[in-house]
Structure 1
Amino acid sequence: MAGQSSSLSYVGCNFLRQRLVLATLSGRPVKIRQIRAKEEDPGLRDFEASFIRLIDKVTNGSRIEINQTGTTLYYQPGLLYGGSLEHDCSPNRSIGYYLESLLCLAPFVKHPLRIILRGVTNDQVDPSVDVLKATALPLLKKFGIDGESLELKITRRGMPPKGGGEVVFSCPVRKTLQPIQFTDPGKIKRIRGTAFSVRVSPQMVNRIVDSARSILNKFIPDIYIYTDHMKGTSSGKSPGFGLSLVAETINGTFLSAELASNPQGQGAAVLPEELGQNCAKLLLEEIYRGGCVDSTNQSLVLLLMTLGQQDVSKVLLGPLSPYTIEFLRHLRSFFQIMFKIETKSSDEERKVILITRNAAEQSQCSIIMVPYMGRLHKHWKRMIKI
């Protein structure tokens, strides 16, 4: 993407992915200083260095400078090239950490992207590959990014701490994106999910499914949760199990929730029944928060609205996560794009509508944090990406 050449400067390690992705799309160099400068182990972590290597593979001609202690990073983006690639992700973060950024970059590369990612497919920190496949890909299709070449496939599952999973992601190139009017989420019509287990008893997934259905069956009958028990080389290097749930509405909105067991040797053992019930409650909370896009994909839809045609796009979101609020600030810094924000409230619900237009037509607006009117679930921090 053509952009301005003036460099931007930031301090600290927070939101590193946002800054590098937006720098790549806008063509603006970025310098990040004092990365964990006051900590005992200063500088970039292994998973951040792996992410920088991934950005370098996807682009051509990028200039990356890191000082000896790793506390200062200068990044001058090159051309988004794409092509067929492979990348070994750090086991400290899941593949979803890297895949979220690739979903932002892939539609705008020069050659269609097909990449094999190896590492951890499901953990307790980042969105899993299952959730991104069920929610992010339909969102891309709403902007006209579709076709047979849009695919996200899990060939091997890998749980922390050793990983061993493998994912294949391919995406077509689109020169223009369609504007969207996505303000009516509609009623929930069905719930789908995937209960998985690797290197544990196959009965684990059945216990997860039964416990999740015991809660969800009270609200809707159309529920189907697939069981995925991988064996041998397809099961990765560490044991574990988990559940991802997706609720689909009549208007094509996908709302998701997920939970995974504790990594081997870390924390107390988690019962499959408890995990299934907690994941079902998280899905109900995500539905209560509302909006046409779930909290995992708020930043993706805002980016696609920003990079779309010079036309009005409108989307209805639930309460904005801290990650999304900072993303809006970064969009203003890199693209000079500001959203018109309206609140939609009633006695039972309060949501936020974001509207983007041609940059020349926009008026300045402030970022509004919409209060959440429900009681926060104890696993709420899993739903917000910090």
Structure 2
Amino acid sequence: MGKITYRRLKGSQNFRLRLLLSTLSSNPVLIDDIRADATWPGLRPQEVSFLRLLEKVSDDCGVEINETGTKLKYKPGIVMGGKNLSHDCGLSRSIGYFLEPLIVLGLFGKKPLSIRLKGITNDSKDPSVDTFRSTTLPLLKHFGIPSEGLELKIESRGVAPNGGGEVVLSVPIVPNSLRALTWIDEGLVKRIRGITFSTRVTVQFENTMIHAARGIFNRLLPDVHIFTDHKAGAQAGKSPGYGISLVAETTSGCFISADTAVSYARGEGEDEMEDEEKKELIPPEDIGKQIASVLLGEIEQGGVVDSTHQVCVLNPGKGKIW
């Protein structure tokens, strides 16, 4: 067996993207100086969890981390996919942090992928599971990915700080190769769809968000429908919270999205969490207005995808779609 040659990289920037490209190209990487000068040096919990996820969906994947977490050796394996897989994403970042690279990896596996992900389904940092279902999956179909087998089921919701959400992602393999696409016509917005959710709070919060968002959209177009998804019991996770996800569909088949969630913030320690819990949550009426304005801002910027999905359709190395 020959000596492994690693491509040397530095720093923590674009961590997931580096590992994703390393895996797809079968090129080992060595990353050092990972937050070496930070107060808390080394890999973050969500980055370690992502490495463990890569090990689960791959065969013969090698991961070596030094004692301080500031140096990583990653030898990619063969993406196998498989059924009945499960991964606990932890509470440092939401499930959306893991879905972004996982969907791409699943397309190039040896077998179709079916995996249960546990953790936080909605927060204000990462794309929500609702956005993945309403925007990301329809976007992938433009590139020749079959609709059959491409699905995201939300079985329970969970917000920060304690999570408790679960989703099941199913991704088919690409039969041959992805279809290249020149896509420059964003079209005109013909309808807006959305969904609100609430966990361990009154369902009236959802009605308030819908009324506030519709108050802005109804002045622009008539076809606006926002649905509710109130969870209770085991399906409501372990923390109170609420949020909204909106998507604008255009005449050329574009999906422009925006979302947010409100809950008590995650803290690094017990004292910090106690301080956060004393703060008032943003009122649902303000959330409805804010996210409606954010969606209008995304539409105003133009383009066939929103800012969240730019990395999904661009090949970072060549500046081309896929």
TM-score normalized by structure 1?
A: 0.77
**Aligned equivalents of 1:56, 1:289: Cα separation in 2:** 39
Note the alpha carbon deviations across 1:145-203, whole angstroms, 9 max, x for none: 12321101100000001000000000111131112121111110000001110000110
CA distance in 2, matches of 1:273, 1:153: 28
2:134 aligned partner:
134
Instruction: Tell me what 1:46 maps to.
Output: 45
Q: Aligned partners of 2:130, 2:197: CA distance in 1, in Å?
A: 10
3-state SS of 2:154 partner: strand
* 1:7 positional shift: 2.7
Q: Which amino acid aligns with 1:23?
A: S
Q: Percent identity?
A: 49
Which residue of the partner structure matches residue 125 of structure 1? 125
Shift of the alpha carbon at 1:102? 0.7
Q: Distance in 1 between matches of 2:38 and 2:119?
A: 27
What is the CA distance between 1:262 and its match in structure 2?
A: 3.6
> SS where residue 145 of structure 2 aligns?
coil
Which residue of structure 2 lines up, in the alignment, with residue 107 of structure 1?
107
TM-superposition CA deviations, 1:52-100 (whole Å, max 9, x none):
0001111100111111111100101011111021000021100000000
Q: How many residues align?
A: 306
CA distance in 1, matches of 2:158, 2:169: 16
Structure 1 counterpart of 2:281, from 269, 277, 281: 269
Cα separation, 2, equivalents of 1:8 and 1:294: 32
Structure 1 contact 262–268 (Cα < 8 Å) conserved: no
Amino acid at match of 1:201: T
Match of 1:244 in 2: 245
- 1:289 match: 301
Alignment check: 8 A CA contact 2:158 2:165 kept: yes
Structure 2: segments with no counterpart, 5+ residues: 266-275
After superposition, where does 1:170-189 map in structure 2 within 5 Å?
170-174=170-174, 175-189=176-190
Task: Specify the SS of the correspondent of 1:122.
Answer: coil
Alignment TM-score, normalising by the size of structure 2: 0.92
The Cα of 1:35 is off from its aligned counterpart by: 1.1
1:79-228 aligned within 5 A: 79-84=78-83, 85-174=85-174, 175-228=176-229
Structure 2 residue matching 1:43: 3-state secondary structure: coil
Residues 243 and 260, structure 1, Cα contact 8 Å, conserved in 2? yes
- Aligned-pair RMSD on alpha carbons? 1.4
Structure 2 CA distance for aligned equivalents of residues 290 and 189 of structure 1: 15
Distance 1:114-1:355 versus aligned 2 partners, 3 A rule: closer
**Equivalent residue runs for 1:288-367 within 5 Å:** 288-303=300-315, 328=316, 331=317, 338-339=318-319
Q: Is the 8 A contact 1:12 1:33 kept in 2?
A: yes
Counterpart of 2:7 in structure 1: which amino acid? L
The CA distance in 1 between the partners of 2:146 and 2:25, in whole Å, is 23
Q: Residue by residue, what CA displacement relative to the aligned partner does 1:325-373 show, whole Å, maximum 9, x if unpaired?
A: xxx2xx3xxxxxx23xxxxxxxxxxxxxx568xxxxxxxxxxxxxxxxx
2:273 aligns with: none
Hey, what's the Cα distance between the residues in 2 that align with 1:127 and 1:355? 21
TM superposition shift of 1:124:
1.0
For the Cα contact (< 8 Å) 2:182–2:321, is it kept in 1? no
